[in-house]
A and B are shown apart, each in its own frame.
Chain A
Amino acid sequence: MWEKIANVDRRVIYALMILVIALALLNPIGMAIVPSQATIDAYNYIEAMPNGSIVWLGMEFSSGGVTELIPAAQAIIRQGFKKDFKFVCAGMWQQAGDMAEMAFSIVEKEFPDKQYGVDWVNIGYKPGGEVLLPALINDVNEAAKGIDHRQNQLSSLPLMSQFKTIKDADLIIIFCTGTPGEQQYIKHVTGPLNIPLIESAISVSVPGIMPFVQSGQIKALIAGMKGAAEYEALVGVPGPAMAGMDAQSFSHGLILLFMILGNIGYYATRNKKG
């Protein structure tokens, strides 16, 4: 029996994982979300920005990061629209434009007075990787080749008359799953221009980002789906991240259970062999 516990077939683990995640998503028990200090710091920083600030949203991720990053983006946009923020979105990742549309698609309906081109603009993906960032410092219109994600002329959008270069941003918030990401923004934009930077990142990236948070180069970090769920709680509008925390909790619980069983099986069989 101990042999079996020490060597459970991986397909059993996969099947149980699917079952646990599906059950938690279909029947959420609504575990209490207590915001961490890091998320509170991000919320307070944005809340302290003057009404009407222009905020750059760097959508530096693709569909793989949707589950963890879109909820944070939606919660921030909600908070920002309440404070009459203007948002300009773009990204170095190919799906940046689609991700911005996805983030705004739901929130836009909650704020019918907010208009595309006046309150937010989606420049979308522009090629070049990190070289795009210095180009945005010189001239956003030129760097974006004059058109946004929806194929509008940027010069025809009222918001862009106030936003000529990325220097016009009062705050930069980026949503990242990897490279290019925060290091490129710190190197080219937020470091030299002294513009505050807030980041929402997927959980696996968090350990690598912590030194930048400690050094103050990133003012606050919304870490993974947990951070997004905490942000939703702070903004007061429950969303997909809060709904997903039960599934994440139970999947972690299952992995921990298997780790314990694996060790019990390992020690039992090891003593037997000895």
Chain B
Amino acid sequence: MKKEVPLAICFIVALIYIVSNYFTGVEFLATMKDLLDKWYLSVDAIVVAIGMVNLAQIHGRRVANKREGWLFSLWLMLCMFGMFFVSIFWFKGTTHVGWNFMYKMIISPMNATVYSTLVFYIGSAAYRSFRIRSMEAGILLVVAFIMMLGRVPLGAMLLGGNQAFATAADWLLRVPNSAGMRGIQIGAALGGIATALRIMLGIERGYLGGTGE
């Protein structure tokens, strides 16, 4: 019963959600879908707490055993629990000036900084990886050249105002890229459906704990 009940709940709930998405206008299904959406919000909030416990377990062990990089783990836990307790017991909400300071003056600039550093990594990675070692690598290099010049005004400036690079970059995005991306997206969607069906039918039981045997 330990496994049968959760599997039955999973199957019934998944079935209701799928059917309610395809057959709109049925009062009972719409009400159930709303209810499930609300439950999802609660589960979503609980998942954050589980994530904190999980992080604390992993990094706590690393600190306790003084493994390599344990100082970073300690810093992570200090920041995580620091923000958590201060927000709940001192700031008591997101309107407090202290919370705003922590969020807008620390987290927000750090977020922007991490994203900004990408330009350096991309520059260095492009220099090292775009070597014409084969015909495929050569094609990749030519496409990269066209895209990089076509997506900035520099391309037109080099050609005396001619928009050839921009036109070629636009074509690459609309035709070969779209064809490839569509294939990837359809493939990923089919993979998602297959996984969902496996979970729904009880073939994939990893979420119950154990090995699914």
Contacts and interface: CB of A to CB of B under 8 A. Distances in A.
Is A bound to B? yes
A252 B156 CA distance: 13
B170 A36 contact: yes
Contacts of B163: 34
A31 B41 CA distance: 48
A151 B96 CA distance: 12
Contacts of B34: 134, 138
A268 to B, nearest CB: 12
Interface in A1-45: 8, 10, 13-14, 17, 21, 31-34, 36-38
Contacts of B195: none
Contacts of A258: 123, 126-127
B211 interface: no
A38 B95 contact: no
A65 B148 CA distance: 19
A158 B16 CA distance: 38
B45 A34 contact: no
Consensus secondary structure, chain A interface: helix
A95 B104 CA distance: 9
How big is chain A's contact interface, by range? 35 or more
A63 B130 contact: no
B112 interface: yes
A129 B144 CA distance: 34
B153 A33 contact: yes
A34 B152 CA distance: 10
A256 B108 contact: no
Interface string A244-264: 011011111111101101110
Given A128-B41, A259-B126, A263-B132, A62 B108 contact: yes
The residue among A210, A251, A262 with the most chain B CB atoms within 10 A of its own CB is A210
B182 interface: yes
Contacts of B181: 207-208, 210-211
Contact of A64 (B40, B114, B120, B178): B114
A70 B23 CA distance: 39
Contacts of A66: 112
Nearest to B161: A32
A95 B152 contact: no
Given A66-B112, A208-B181, A249 B153 contact: yes
Q: Which 8 pairs between the two chains have the least Cβ-Cβ distance?
A: A64-B115, A31-B153, A249-B154, A63-B112, A258-B127, A249-B152, A10-B124, A63-B111
Interface of B: 24, 33-34, 37, 40-41, 44-45, 95, 104, 108-109, 111-112, 114-116, 119-120, 122-124, 126-128, 130-132, 141, 144-145, 148-149, 151-154, 156-157, 161, 163, 166, 170, 173-174, 177-178, 181-182, 185
Interface of A: 8, 10, 13-14, 17, 21, 31-34, 36-38, 62-67, 95, 98, 127-129, 131, 134-135, 138, 151, 192, 203, 206-208, 210-211, 214, 223-224, 226, 245-246, 248-256, 258-259, 261-263, 266-267
